[in-house]
Amino acid sequence: MMNEISRSTVVIFPLVIVNVLTFLLYGIDKWKAKRARWRIPEGVLLGLAAIGGSVGAWLGMRVWHHKTQHKRFRYGVPVILLIQIALLVWFWKVC
């Protein structure tokens, strides 16, 4: 069993980093969309949500009002978030 320090180091710190990065990339993509510039591919934005950045993706959608009309994002990001919450709860109980 992991102690509390190693658990937070192994799980929480990387999740914080990926979520901050995801949130910022949603904002950058929105900025680029308004200026008709090169965009961040949707696969990258959804991929970041899938690897642990779902909170950042969801917040980015809300704060930046970005990708909220796309069904893949509107429904996909919350589903990914719920799955990740379930996995995190399971991991916390097992370890």
Query: How many domains, the chain?
Result: 1
> Where does the chain show beta strands of DSSP type E?
none
Q: Give the pLDDT band of residue 10 (cuts 50, 70, 90).
A: confident
Question: Is the pTM for the entire model greater than 0.75?
Answer: yes
The pLDDT value given to residue 19: 98
pLDDT tens digits, residue range 25-41? Answer: 999 999 999 999 999 99
What number of other Cβ atoms are within 10 A of residue 51's Cβ?
A: 14
Q: How many whole angstroms separate alpha carbon 66 and alpha carbon 39?
A: 12
Mean pLDDT (the chain, rounded): 92
**Residue 39 gets which letter from DSSP?**
-
Q: Give the pLDDT band of residue 43 (cuts 50, 70, 90).
A: very high
Over 90: is that where the pLDDT of 71 sits? Answer: yes
Instruction: Print the domain residue range for 84.
Output: 4-94
